[in-house]
Chain A
């Protein structure tokens, strides 16, 4: 993994972790507070519901008591129940309707002692029906009241009922009244949409759909309940119980959690994108100089020690760059010394070999000369004879030396003095030595006489000069001008071939040593280029000179005889 990738990952983690921890903490704290608040609301609602039911039962009983008193005192009731079908019977049939409206009850019914309905407010035409079970069931639940399911003409009614009685003419009548328990009323008890009150009868399917709240997250569950007796006047069978279930809907809390989760994820996502961008940019900004240093360092070797690490940064990167620059500088010096040492070692080896070979050739000669000298001093008369005897040795040694000279001469090619066209060679060199930063111009005299030189040698001379001129530009844009001209000299007509550059030029000391063997200012130079040029030009019977100024470029002029 790269340094940049590690840096990016680190920055991402630094940005995301606090937000994630904060979001999760907020979510947990919020859920805990909401649950505590809901628990408090449930407790309060249960208390309110219990008090409300108690008050309702008490209030219903009070109203029924007042109605019973009023009915017992009304002569029309007495006439209606005593006289059979009469005008007062219709009054009695309508009485419960009007009384129910006046008392705010949702159900009102008067029954005779046999349980026959004599007046019904919630179902006016339900008169004469026999239903003695209702008052009995309500009498059994007098203290708490009961939930009844009463028939209406167009449906059923669930109500919280009470019962009272009156006696007229020695006959006992019961009066049953109730207040509606509709869903709207139950909903009004709820402080909010999360907590509700549901009336469930027995173990009905509705009860099964409302399990008790536990650890599991349920959409709606029952958290508390209040039970009352229940009576259904349209059904037979044992009485069941009516349960007021306080339910809690986890939907809003879950929705809030989901909403928080969504926002948290959105915040994390935005942070991730922003942090990724910033981290990438920042890591790139930090890693770029290091990468550049690494690239430059990777390019450094003994043949390429020209890398520049210098920088004006004052931070650690700058310090490292300066260290690398100093190290490279030291490497350059060391490499130059190493090459010098190698050159010197090479020259030394060659010199020693030549010295050895020459000594080998001179040693017999020296012995013969010393022998002849002794003979000449001691036995002059024998000199001729001895010389004759030792002549072969001398000739053999001379031949050895001559062979040795020929062998060493083989290290350099023999000159071919055939003629060649200097302009053509200059053109070829110009074409072959093009460089991106160097503009090579040709200023050739036409016609130009041929020169007396091997084209290969002339080419070697000019290539050396042109190569030096291009190198002298140090990679910066510059010009190299190749020109030719013919001039008459005292020793004959000569061709003047000039290679001028706009490079760094040379100082006097450097110029003095420029034609020395093995002298060079280039990192990869051998120091033999100009010395070879001078030697070859000299071999051609020509001359070479240089004109230079530091920073002003250099001009090398070669004069060689024309053919």
Chain B
């Protein structure tokens, strides 16, 4: 029986484990992290392990890297592909592939000096030309999000780019993994790595990766990572049990499942650390009218009662209100309404929210915000139902206009690249419901890792003394 408990004892343990002033190791090609509070050390008394098994929720694909669609893809890409700069969980910008960066007085034009001597996994040099070629080749057209102009190579290691509008988030926005530098890979192979780790082995099934072996750029400079990909609805308690038995030394599990978190909190050898709120679940209402937004109390009720993961009421500001184009798709095609409330298949929180909206829609005491959100469909189909869709099918169904609503996760932060999430068709309303976050479960002995501002963990590879 699942019982949600707030992380009380574990939070205290986590606080003790967070080494506020610990000086991190010097990562290869990366400047030392200044935001030490982002550094997590699971057990400083245990000897650092050289092999770490990580369990991530799937599916994970790397064909579109560095564009990501799930937390698992984000974490893997964080290890494989490095951006020009990095930003820790405190928002502090540190060096990435670039060793220096500067802007003109307007704050619109930015110049980056790429550190010399860096190479992709295939041996190609990482220079200004490679950075310029990386972004469009990777499909990371940033114009819709960050509104970057075409970068200009001004020197072998110097790159100049400009943003249409100066943002307060700069230059931290350049740390987004979507702007990570990727090299050209072979047919069907992932892009050449530029980050601290290289793929040494991988296994796939049905186009998705099932496991990776990641090694640091040089032997002995950091832990070897063994990544296992599990379905999003897998019972992670089995994974934790298996790790305890088969791999007793160390492990990292990324989880949103409250049952797994509760299970981990009940064992002292686990450290459970919440990751930043990384998702906002929104209802894309195709024919909303009037006050379709629930009150904070209703959102809190949804987060508390309807959602079983770690959730809270969605909190403004919502980036799509300032950058609506980034959240919108192409023109919608009118079609016969079905009254279905769709959700992204494999996402339990989206399903639970969709089911709750269906329940509220069928109630004789229907809430005004529900009536407003489903206004265009109430007369057509009084009996709603929750239906799961894959991302592609959901995009198509939303574009056709036949859904009453769709519950999808949006990035909590303003995405630099407007890719990787379901977009709302023109004319639809975006109704924020709840925020959600994942947790990292770390076993004793896991080497220190950094929690980035985007909610990903990132292992550090130590430079040779």
> Does residue B267 face the partner (Cβ distance < 8 Å to A)?
no
Q: A87-B4, A90-B4 are in contact. Are A130 and B308 (CB under 8 A)?
A: no
* Min CB–CB distance A95 → chain B (angstroms): 8
User: Are B3 and A91 touching (Cβ within 8 A)?
Assistant: yes
Cβ 8 A contact of A129, one of B5, B354, B359: B359
Contact indicator B355/A124 (Cβ below 8 Å): yes
Within 8 A of B (CB), among A114-172: 123-131, 151-156
Task: Tell whether A98 is near chain B: CB-to-CB under 8 Å.
Answer: yes
B304 touches A90 (CB 8 A): yes
Give chain A interface residues in 415-463, CB to chain B under 8 Å. none
Q: Is the CB of A234 within 8 A of B383?
A: yes
Note all chain A residues with C-beta closer than 8 A to B301.
Answer: 85
Chain A residue with minimal CB distance to B358?
Answer: A153
Point out the residues of chain B lying under 8 angstroms from A93, CB to CB: 305
Taking a contact as CB atoms closer than 8 A, the residue among A89, A98, A128, A153 that contacts B386 in the complex is A153
- Residue from A91, A129, A131, A155 with most neighbouring chain B CB atoms (10 Å): A129
The contact size tier of chain A is: 20 to 34
What is the minimal beta-carbon distance from A92 to any residue of chain B, in angstroms? Answer: 10
A127, B308: Cβ atoms closer than 8 Å: no
A94 touches B354 (CB 8 A): no
Find chain B residues with CB under 8 A from A94 CB.
Answer: 1-2, 308
Q: Interface residue tally of chain B, by bracket? A: 20 to 34
Min CB distance A94 to B, Å, is 6
Encode contact with B along A89-110: 1 for CB under 8 Å, 0 otherwise.
Answer: 1110111001000000000000
**B354 near A153: Cβ-Cβ < 8 Å:** yes
Neighbouring A residues of B1 by C-beta, 8 Å = 91, 94-95, 98
B354 touches A151 (CB 8 A): no
* Cβ distance A285 to chain B, nearest Cβ, rounded Å: 78
CB neighbours (8 Å) of B305 from chain A are: 85, 89-90, 93, 125, 127
Cross-chain contact of A125 among B3, B4, B306, B383 (Cβ < 8 A): B306
* Interface presence of B356 (CB below 8 A): yes
Question: In the complex, A93 Cα to B306 Cα: how many Å?
Answer: 9
Contact indicator A130/B364 (Cβ below 8 Å): yes
The residues of B that contact A87 with a CB separation of less than 8 Å are: 3-5
Contact of B4 with A126 in the complex, beta carbons under 8 Å: no
In angstroms, Cα B365 to Cα A131, docked, is 10
Chain A residues whose CB sits within 8 angstroms of the CB of B3 once the complex forms:
87, 90-91
Contact A234 B362 (CB under 8 A): yes
Q: Are A123 and B355 in contact (CB under 8 A)?
A: yes
Q: Is the CB of B355 within 8 A of A153?
A: yes
Task: Kindly list chain B residues whose C-beta atoms are within 8 Å of the C-beta of A153.
Answer: 354-355, 358-359, 385-386
Complex Cα distance, B306 from A90, in Å, reads: 9
User: Within 8 Å of chain A (Cβ to Cβ): is B392?
Assistant: no
Determine whether B322 belongs to the interface, using a CB cutoff of 8 Å to chain A: no
- Interface membership of chain B positions 286-326, coded 1 if the CB is closer than 8 angstroms to chain A and 0 otherwise: 00000000000000010011101000000000000000000
Give the residue name and chain of the B residue nearest to A86 (CB). B304
Q: Is B257 an interface residue (CB 8 A)?
A: no
Interface of B is mostly: mixed
Chain B nearest CB, measured from A195 CB (Å):
33
Distance from A21 Cβ to chain B, minimum over Cβ atoms (Å):
61
Closest residue of B by beta carbon distance from A128: B363
Say if the beta carbon of B387 comes within 8 Å of chain A.
yes
**Is B352 close to A, CB under 8 A?**
yes
Residues of A within 8 A of B4 (CB): 87, 90
Contact B385 A125 (CB under 8 A): no
Query: Considering only CB atoms, which chain B residue lies closest to A236 in the complex?
Result: B364
Bound form: Cα–Cα A302–B386 in Å: 112
Q: Which residues of B contact A124 (CB under 8 A)?
A: 352, 355
Q: B8 → chain A, closest Cβ, in Å? A: 12
Alpha-carbon gap, A131 to B5, bound state (A): 31
In the bound complex, how far is the Cα of B301 from the Cα of A90, in angstroms? 11
- Once bound together, how far apart are the Cα atoms of A490 and B297, in whole Å? 171
- The listed residue (A89, A90, A129) touching B362 by CB distance below 8 A is A129
How far is B307's CA from A94's CA once the two chains are assembled, in angstroms? 11
**Which residues of A have CB within 8 Å of B355?**
123-126, 153
Assembly CA distance A128 to B386 (angstroms)? 18
Q: A125 near B363 (CB under 8 angstroms)?
A: no
The interface residues of chain B lying within 8 Å CB-to-CB of A125 are 305-306, 352, 355-356, 358-359
Contact between B386 and A154 (Cβ–Cβ < 8 Å)? yes
B340: nearest chain-A partner, CB-CB? A154
Are B304 and A123 interface neighbours, CB within 8 A?
no
B363 touches A127 (CB 8 A): no
Q: Within 8 Å CB of B2, what residues of A?
A: 94, 98
Closest to B385 in A: A154
Provide the residues of chain A in CB contact with B364, threshold 8 Å. Answer: 129-131
For residue B5, which residues in chain A have a CB less than 8 angstroms away from its CB? 87
Q: What CA separation (Å) do A234 and B383 show in the bound complex?
A: 8
A38 to B383, CA, bound (A): 41
Instruction: Pick the most buried of A129, A151, A154: most chain B CB atoms within 10 A of its CB.
Output: A154
Q: Mark A452-493, 1 if CB is under 8 A from B, else 0.
A: 000000000000000000000000000000000000000000
* A5, B353: Cα distance in complex, Å: 89
| Max chain A C-beta neighbours (<10 A), residue from B301, B355, B365 | B355
For window 233-248 of A, CB contacts with B under 8 Å fall at: 234
CA distance A253 to B85 in the complex (A): 79
Measured CB to CB, the closest approach of chain A to B346, in angstroms, equals 15
Contact of A85 among B304, B363, B365, B387 (CB under 8 A): B304
Given A123-B355, A125-B356, A129-B363, verify A151-B383 contact (CB < 8 Å): yes
* B383: min CB distance to chain A, Å: 6
Q: Chain A residues near B354 (CB, 8 Å)?
A: 153
Q: Complex formed: what's the CA distance from A85 to B358 in Å?
A: 22
Give the docked Cα–Cα distance between A154 and B384 (Å).
Answer: 8
- Which residue on chain B has the smallest CB distance to residue A117? B359
- Chain A 61-91 residues near chain B, CB threshold 8 A: 85, 87, 89-91
Taking the nearest CB of chain A, how far is it from the CB of B208, in angstroms? 25
Name the residue of chain A whose CB is nearest to the CB of B2.
A94
What is the 8 Å Cβ interface bit string for chain B, positions 333-362, against chain A (1 contact, 0 not)? 000000000000000000010111011001
Q: Which B residues are CB-close (under 8 A) to A126?
A: 355, 359, 362
- List B363-386 residues whose CB lies under 8 Å from chain A: 363-365, 383, 385-386
Cα(A108)–Cα(B387), bound, Å: 22
B359 touches A127 (CB 8 A): yes
Q: For B304, what are the chain A residues with a Cβ–Cβ distance below 8 Å? A: 85, 89-90
A483 to B187, CA, bound (A): 115
A89 to B304, CA, bound (A): 9
Closest A residue to B359 using CB positions: A126
Rounded to whole angstroms, the CA-CA distance of A87 and B2 in the bound complex is 11
Cβ–Cβ < 8 Å partners of B359 in chain A = 123, 125-127, 129, 153
List of A residues within 8 angstroms of B383 by Cβ: 151, 156, 234
* Given A130-B365, A153-B355, A154-B387, 19 new contacts (CB under 8 A): A89-B304, A90-B308, A91-B3, A93-B305, A94-B2, A124-B352, A125-B306, A125-B352, A126-B359, A127-B305, A127-B359, A129-B359, A130-B364, A131-B364, A153-B358, A153-B359, A153-B386, A156-B383, A234-B362
Instruction: Name 26 interchain pairs, CB-CB below 8 A, sorted by A.
Output: A85-B301, A87-B4, A87-B5, A90-B4, A90-B305, A90-B308, A91-B1, A91-B3, A94-B1, A94-B308, A98-B2, A124-B355, A125-B305, A125-B352, A125-B358, A129-B362, A129-B364, A130-B363, A131-B364, A151-B383, A153-B354, A153-B358, A153-B386, A154-B385, A156-B383, A234-B383
Residues of A within 8 A of B (CB): 85, 87, 89-91, 93-95, 98, 123-131, 151-156, 234
**Top 3 A-B residue pairs of the complex, sorted by shortest distance between their CB atoms:** A153-B355, A125-B356, A126-B359
Chain B residues close to A by CB (< 8 Å): 1-5, 301, 304-306, 308, 352, 354-356, 358-359, 362-365, 383, 385-387
